[in-house]
Amino acid sequence: MPASLPILDLARLDVGETERRTFLEELRRAAREIGFFYLVGHGIPDARIADVQALARRFFALPAAEKRAVAMVKSPHFRGYTEAGAEITRGRADWREQFDIGAERPALPRAPGAPAWTRLQGPNLWPTALPELRPELLAWQEAVTGVGIRLLEAFALALGQPADAFAPIYAGAPNQHIKIIRYPGREATPDDQGVGAHKDSGFLTLLVQDDEGGLEVTDDAGGWIAASPVPGAFVVNVGELLELASNGYLRATIHRVVTPRAGRDRLSVAFFLGARHDATVPLLDLPPALAAQAGGAASDPDNPLFREVGRNYLKGRLRSHPDVAAVHYADLLDKEVRAA
C-alpha cells in the first residue's frame, strides 16, 4: 500500500478516450488498493468550499444554548446537533461536536408493520440564530451530490458496468447526509479519539477539511497513513455499499480521526452518498478478470453487513447515537441490537 493517498482528477473523464480510460484504471486501482484518494477537477470552486467552511465555523461559534435547541435527541430522524463525547464508535466516545442534516423530505407515516427504517426519513432541524445555514447547506448538498453521482458512474464504468448500474438503488431518493464537524484540541478531550476506527456505510464519502490534519487511513501492515489536507481537494473513500456490490473487489477501508494538538481545533465538512432506504444492494456481474480478484466483502462479527440498505443504516444510527435511540426507538432497540 502506498505511503500517501493518490490524487485523481475527475476532469480527465471529459478530455478524450485515452485520458478517460487511464482515469478509470487509476480510480479502480486506488479504490481496490487503499479505498481512499484525493479528488480534484470536481468543478466546485475553492471559494464555495471556503464559504461552506466559514458557515460551519459560524454555527459552532453559536452559544451552547442555541446549538442545544437543535439537539439531535429531539429528532427521530437523527438530524441536528451532537455535543462532543455524545456519539459512540466501537463503544467509545468521539470527541467532536457536529451538526447533521439529510435530504429535506417529509416524515413517513407510522403505518402498522412498516419497517423500522421508515422512521429515518423526515425534516431537518435548523437553528433560528443562523437562518442562512438552511439554504446554504441544502445547496451544498445538491452540489456535492452531483459530484458523487458522477463519480459513482465512473466507478460503474471502471467495474465493466453501464454508467447507470447503481441508479436503480439511488434514483429518486438517494441517502444524502452532511455532517459539519469540529474537533476540539487535546486540552479539551480526555483522550485522542476524535472519531474511532470505522468504515463508512454508504456508496461514497466526500470530505473537505481545513488545514489541521488528523484523518488517518489504515494500511495493510496495521499502521496509519495520514490524509493530510490538500487545498481544493475532496478526500474520497469507498463505503460498504460499493464493497458489497463488488463482492469485495472494491475496498471500504477503516479510518479514524485523531484529535488536534492542544490549542488547535479541526473543522471538516463530510458528505455521505448512499442508496435509497428501501433498496437492496445487488451483486454486480463483474468481468472475469475482476471477479477472480473479488474475495467477498469483509465480515465483522461485531458489526455485520446487511444488503437491506435501510436496515443496515438504522443499525449504525442506533449504535452511534444511543441517546436518540433510547428516546425514539426504545420499542425496538433491544431487538435491533440483538439482530446486529
* pLDDT band for position 304 (cuts 50, 70, 90): low
Distances from the Cα of 6 to the Cα of 35, 208, 223, angstroms: 10, 16, 17
Residues 276-292: what's their mean pLDDT?
95
pLDDT tens digit sequence for 112-161: 889 999 999 999 999 999 999 999 999 999 999 999 999 999 999 999 99
Give which of 265, 257, 271 is closest to 174, Cα–Cα.
271
Strand 266-274 to 224-226 pairing = unpaired
Residues ≥6 apart with Cβ < 8 Å to 96: 84, 87, 181, 182, 183, 184, 194, 195, 257
pLDDT-derived band at 296 (thresholds 50, 70, 90) equals confident
- The angle, 0 to 180 degrees and rounded to 10, between the axes of the packed helices 133-158 and 17-33 is 100
Specify burial of residue 188 (Cβ count, 10 A radius: 0-12, 13-18, 19+). Answer: middle
The pLDDT, as a whole number, for residue 2 is 56
Does the pLDDT of residue 225 top 70, yes or no? yes
Residue 115: half-sphere exposure toward Cβ, Cα within 13 Å: 15
Give phi and psi for 180, each to the nearest 5.
-95, 135
Q: What cell numbers appear for 47 in the block?
A: 471559494
CB 308 within 8 A of CB 280: yes
User: What is the average per-residue pLDDT within 73-96?
Assistant: 95
CATH number for the 7-339 domain, one of 3.40.1010.20, 3.40.50.300, 3.40.50.150, 2.60.120.330?
A: 2.60.120.330
